[in-house]
Structure 1
Amino acid sequence: MIDALRFYSKIEIKKSTIASNGIINNRDMKRVRINTGNVGLVFKNGNYQKVITEGTYWLKFSQHVTVYNLTEKFHAPIASEILLQDVTLANMLEVIDVSDTEIVLRHEKGNLIAVLEAGQHLYWKGLVERTFTRIDLSKIEITEIKDKNLLKDYRLVQYVRTFEVFEYEKAILLIDDKFEKILNSGVYQFWKNATSIKILKVDMRQLQLEIAGQELLTKDKAAIRINFYTQYKVIDIKKAILDNKDFEKQLYIAMQLKLRTFVGNYTLDELLDQKENIANAVFENVKDAAENLGIQVLYCGIRDVILTGEMKEIMNQVLIAQKKAQANIITRREETASTRSLLNTAKLMEENAMLYQLKEMEYVEKIADKIGEITVAGNGGVVKQLKDIFSVNK
């Protein structure tokens, strides 16, 4: 009986209370329980020993267990090279090594969860379905991602360079300052790296260039200012951007020189009369120069011809004199016509006595309107007596 009691007492000594963390301790052994969805790494005195999965285990008191959730990323407590020497553990982990020129996109259930940068990343296999997309940042073309909306994700924006070319524009793509290709309208995205990427955009719409306030001398040395304009459009973007520097300034100078050349061949009067001809001449002579700039000139025109202060006064005087001369000519013409009409009337009266009498009566009527009372007597015509009266009064 005493021996039996001693036996049962030894059993009781080895028993212990189950703790809240699932570990049962006694002086020699402890029991460890790994729940579903977890794994444990067993260490002894800081050295890795093995991996344990779901279930209950008896371990020595000197052993320590670190429990990991299979749905989370695995952060190795010691060097991963040591842990991965265990084949069992290595088969349970997905190892993602990312170089300095790469990033890796981690998706779970089709959704982007994280962007993995340079380094080693460990994930538990089996419980969560994960996919990894490796991206080489040393190249510039984005070929790994088909959905362009994903590139707007805040986690990816820092790795992407975005350029926009509007509907009315074209652009030249330069890679490491070398011509690559011509870009039409659209949004272009490239991986961000040490490679230099530039785009040079040009407005392809019809444009207008103003040459304002050009002070010029005409053939007769008249000082004038001309406002000139031209309408044009870029037709060869590569020639305009790469073969020429500041093509707009070059077009401006070419138009300015042609304008000076033609204006100097005309007097002021000719210039004012033939503005359209001068504009057309400039247009025809600037075509070749514009073509070399990758530009097509569509139209040229003189907007204003402005006279300087003294010249303006002189022209005003000339204009006044011309108008006065025109007025005098008109006056003389009217006087001549009136005299001619009187002569014709006199001839008719001389040939027709009745017409003469009618004219006398008209003459008397007009005089009567002007004078209150007239008395005439004696023989002779009324007109003659009236004539004698006015001659005496005069």
Structure 2
Amino acid sequence: MKYVIKTQECGYLFKNGILKKILFAGKYRILSMSGWELKITEMTGKVDTKGLPTELLMEQPDFVSRVVRVQIPDDCIGFHLVNGVYKQVIMEGEALYWNVFEKNEIRLVNVTGTEMTEAQVPAMYRHLIPSRLYKRLSVGEGETGLLYIDGRFEKQLSSGTYFYWIYAHEVSMKLYSLKVQQLEISGQEILTSDKVGVRLNILCSYRITRPLELVQKTDNVANLLYTRIQLLAREYIGGFRLDELLAQKEEIGRFLMKQIQGVQEEYCVEILNTGIKDIILPGEIRDIMNTVLVAEKKAQANVIMRREEVASTRSLLNTAKLMEENKVLYRLKELEYLERICDRVGSISLNGAGSVLEQLAALALPKG
């Protein structure tokens, strides 16, 4: 029987089921009746052994020179590269590829280490690795991460993206924000010294400065600050009367800030600002204060009105004195009034005798 083996192919030649030779491109005549058999396979990609043990094929020098064979240890993975380009990850067992028409390469990477470096695996090919073998850690701008390997602190991470092997290690990270954070202590009910119950909303702005020390002291610094400010407010503000509390709101805020700054080193933070945001009064107190405010505003309005009336009367008096002393000014005032009257009246008949104002007054008087 005639066989043609193409350039990209090879053939396994058997005699009575026993491999005798590997044939390459060419024309062959095989006498199948004499127990000869030829199995043809392509020499690209993964080797198709046609059911033959690899060790048996490796006894053929022509086969060995045309393949790449790599054993993948348990603590490694193999990156399969074709012509220098990453194609896939081989997890275990044996890698056997033809190395004739394309260059196949297997690079072993140990996964029992900790950090996955760029030299080990370029970042653009890390998606090929099964996610169960590594952990991706991200630290944003204005944040820091505390890296722990097998429960022990390893190092502090700045902003960026990191990859760590978790095949043989337990990897975790605690993330802390180094940005300014705002804590609101709201709805604090406090009884003033004059027995008035008020509710306060207090704001505190802070920033974490030493996260590594902080993690050894507490898991939640916000709770510590909340409790501290709450106790300080109750102790200090409770000694004020209501009117003092309303009048000294800013001073009380500065006192609270100074007191809480005294523990910022202990809490590994920097206190930037603390103050009273709102003072919420009981309903009946609000009504009373509104009534007082309305009364005060009315009194102020009355005072202003009286001042305006006095000023107006004084102005009229001064004008009358000037007109009495100055006849020309008096005549000008007459003309001013005449102009106003003429604007409102269609026609007026006057004779030459007497004062203009006297004649106008006579016109205005009802006839008896």
TM-score by length of 2: 0.72
SS at match of 2:234: helix
Q: 1:43 to 1:288 in 2, by over 3 A?
A: farther
1:223-271 deviation per Cα after TM superposition (whole angstroms, max 9, x unaligned): 1111111111111122333431211111111111111111022222221
| Structure 2 spans left out of the alignment, 5+ residues | 315-324, 326-368
The answer as to whether partners of 1:239 and 1:292 remain within 8 angstroms in 2 is no
Tell me, yes or no, if structure 1 residue 306 matches structure 2 residue 277. Answer: no
Tell me, yes or no, if structure 1 residue 151 matches structure 2 residue 133. Answer: no
| The one of 270, 282, 298 aligned to 1:296 | 270
Superposition deviation, residue 190 in structure 1: 2.4
Give the AA of the match of 1:46: G
The answer as to whether partners of 2:97 and 2:104 remain within 8 angstroms in 1 is no
Q: Tell me how far apart the structure 2 counterparts of residues 308 and 193 of structure 1 sit (CA, whole Å).
A: 62
- Percent identity (aligned): 30
Superposition deviation, residue 120 in structure 1: 0.8
Q: Tell me how far apart the structure 2 counterparts of residues 167 and 179 of structure 1 sit (CA, whole Å).
A: 22
- Where in structure 2 are the equivalents of 1:1-394 lying within 5 Å? 19=2, 21-22=3-4, 34-55=5-26, 61-76=34-49, 77-86=51-60, 89-143=63-117, 144-145=119-120, 147-152=122-127, 155-156=128-129, 158=131, 159-316=133-290
Q: Tell me how far apart the structure 2 counterparts of residues 93 and 322 of structure 1 sit (CA, whole Å).
A: 101
The answer as to whether partners of 1:106 and 1:115 remain within 8 angstroms in 2 is yes
Q: 1:262 to 1:49 in 2, by over 3 A?
A: same
Superposition deviation, residue 118 in structure 1: 0.4
TM-score by length of 1: 0.68
Q: How big is the alpha-carbon RMSD for the aligned residues of Structure 1 and Structure 2?
A: 3.2
Q: Tell me how far apart the structure 2 counterparts of residues 245 and 115 of structure 1 sit (CA, whole Å).
A: 40
The answer as to whether partners of 1:75 and 1:122 remain within 8 angstroms in 2 is no
Quote the residue 1:386 is aligned against: none
Larger mean Cα displacement after TM superposition, 78-87 or 313-322: 313-322
SS at match of 1:73: coil
Superposition deviation, residue 300 in structure 1: 0.8
Larger mean Cα displacement after TM superposition, 62-71 or 223-232: 62-71
Larger mean Cα displacement after TM superposition, 285-294 or 254-263: 285-294
Q: Which runs of 4+ in 1 moved over 6 A?
A: 320-328
The size of the alignment, in residue pairs, is 305
SS at match of 1:289: coil
SS at match of 2:264: helix
| Structure 1 spans left out of the alignment, 5+ residues | 1-17, 23-33, 342-357, 359-394
Larger mean Cα displacement after TM superposition, 297-306 or 126-135: 126-135
Give the AA of the match of 1:62: G
Superposition deviation, residue 119 in structure 1: 0.8
Q: Tell me how far apart the structure 1 counterparts of residues 161 and 130 of structure 2 sit (CA, whole Å).
A: 14
Q: Tell me how far apart the structure 2 counterparts of residues 201 and 253 of structure 1 sit (CA, whole Å).
A: 23
Q: 1:327 to 1:141 in 2, by over 3 A?
A: closer
Q: Tell me how far apart the structure 2 counterparts of residues 250 and 217 of structure 1 sit (CA, whole Å).
A: 23
Give the AA of the match of 1:186: G
